[in-house]
Structure 1
Amino acid sequence: MRKRYIVTILTALAVVAYLALDDHQTTIEIVAQDLIDQEPDYIIEKLSAESFSKNGDLTQQINAFKATHYPKDDITVLEKPSIMLYEAGIPKWGVRSNTGHLLQQKTIKLEGSVIVVPLSPQGGDFSLTTDSLNIDLVSQIADTNDKVVIESDRSELLATGMTILLDQQFVKFKSQVRGRHDPKAQ
């Protein structure tokens, strides 16, 4: 009877050991798949990409020092992006920053020394700077909650947060708006 207990205990230990090893193998497979999912599927140096409307008009051009695409979430990380937004094939806005995240080819989140300038003559002669800016490329709306500085030869405007309707060239400031204007400056 003692031999039966020993055989039963050894069998139980063998089953537990097998299940523990099998569970460890499954964990390794899950971790390995997670690591694979976090890997980029392509990296492009000196990216230049253009998008066109259904009519064939150029709508946007994105240039970057480097672009790394992660397929799991369809995110492209951009280094030193430069973006030109067009309306009916005519350049309207130029945007630059240190980094950017292009999300599902629809939204771009820019960070670090973001600069926005109008490119059309009727857009005015000014520059807009902020720390971060989110641009919905479909609806042509740019938004930030950070400090914004708009400068021209004659004036300076400071605000916290803004929304720009890029296609209408309309800006709405969110709070703490202050301005300075020098009519004598040229």
Structure 2
Amino acid sequence: MQLNSQRIKLNIGRTLLGLMPLIFMGALTLMTFWLVKKNTPPESSTLEPIRLHEPDYIIKNGTLSALNEQGNTKYRILGNKVTHYDDDASIDIDAPRMRLFQPDKAPVTVKSNTGHLDGDLTILELFDNASIFRPQQAATATEPASLRMLASSSYFKVLINDDIVKTDRPITLEQGMSIMNSTEGGTFDNIQQSMTLSGQVKGRIERAPRGAQ
């Protein structure tokens, strides 16, 4: 009996010894799983998906208008192609044309080859062949006569809420027969419908024809 008991113990020892690699691998697997789980941040259901800067709709020959407090049109933006982006609500415009309106004054047109309107609809940037055009206007009961005005540059920024159009790039200003140039840009005030050039200005000033003043 004592011999059989020793043989049983010996067989058990050999069996356990043979299982040691499996036990070791199992323990290592469990420890690895525990470490991975511990160092993995918990998933949050409140995380918003990443929104790519991709268009969510495109309009051909689109128009955007805004009214003033009296219900009259304050400005109107037109474009051959209007592309709206979902992530920041900004808008790209092909061939943008913006009409600025003031009571009892000639409407002003600002245009360029391409444009970008921010998501808050407060800043319109105009790129390439940008211009500001104010037609000639005869004198009225409240406003004096004004000559035709054309300001040209490669870039204009329209501050919509402030009724200001400005640039820091070279600009050419034509008013009547006069023409002036500035390398440091200028600012157009739509309320006053006046243009102020910055820096050193060169050009020629011609007297307005009689009756146009």
Using the size of structure 2 for normalisation, the TM-score is: 0.71
Give 1:9 deviation, angstroms.
Answer: 2.1
RMSD: 2.9
Distance 1:184 1:110 in 2: 31
Matched, 1:135 2:153: no
Determine the structure 1 residue equivalent to 2:24: 5
Give 1:172 deviation, angstroms.
Answer: 2.3
Give 1:155 deviation, angstroms.
Answer: 2.1
Q: Are 1:78 and 1:101, in contact at CA under 8 Å, matched by a contact in 2?
A: yes
Q: Are 1:59 and 1:89, in contact at CA under 8 Å, matched by a contact in 2?
A: no
1:164 counterpart letter in structure 2: F
Residues 47-84 of structure 1 show CA distances to partners (whole Å, capped at 9, x for unaligned) of 12222112111111111001111232221111100111
Matched, 1:50 2:65: yes
Determine the structure 1 residue equivalent to 2:53: 38
Distance 1:64 1:123 in 2: 28
Is there any run of 5+ residues in structure 2 with no aligned partner, and where? 1-19, 138-144
Report the structure number with the largest CA radius of gyration: 2
**Pairs aligned (count):** 177
More strand by share: 1
Determine the structure 2 residue equivalent to 1:162: 186
Distance 2:109 2:208 in 1: 28
Q: Are 1:101 and 1:110, in contact at CA under 8 Å, matched by a contact in 2?
A: yes
**Residue 112 of structure 2: which of 79, 93, 97 is its match?**
97
Q: Give the percent of matched residue pairs that are identical in Structure 1 and Structure 2.
A: 20
Give 1:111 deviation, angstroms.
Answer: 0.9
2:134 counterpart letter in structure 1: P
Determine the structure 2 residue equivalent to 1:181: 205
| Structure 1 residues 145 and 37, CA gap change in structure 2 (3 angstroms) | same
Give 1:146 deviation, angstroms.
Answer: 0.4
Give 1:141 deviation, angstroms.
Answer: 1.0
Determine the structure 1 residue equivalent to 2:98: 83
Distance 2:28 2:148 in 1: 85
Distance 2:198 2:208 in 1: 29
Using the size of structure 1 for normalisation, the TM-score is: 0.80
Q: Post-superposition, which runs of at least 4 consecutive aligned residues in structure 1 deviate over 6 A?
A: 16-20
Moved more, 101-110 or 89-98: 89-98
Give 1:14 deviation, angstroms.
Answer: 4.9
| Structure 1 residues 149 and 40, CA gap change in structure 2 (3 angstroms) | same
Distance 2:179 2:102 in 1: 27
2:70 counterpart letter in structure 1: N
SS of the aligned residue for 2:204 comes to strand
Q: Are 2:136 and 2:148, in contact at CA under 8 Å, matched by a contact in 1?
A: no
Q: Are 1:84 and 1:91, in contact at CA under 8 Å, matched by a contact in 2?
A: no
Determine the structure 2 residue equivalent to 1:172: 196
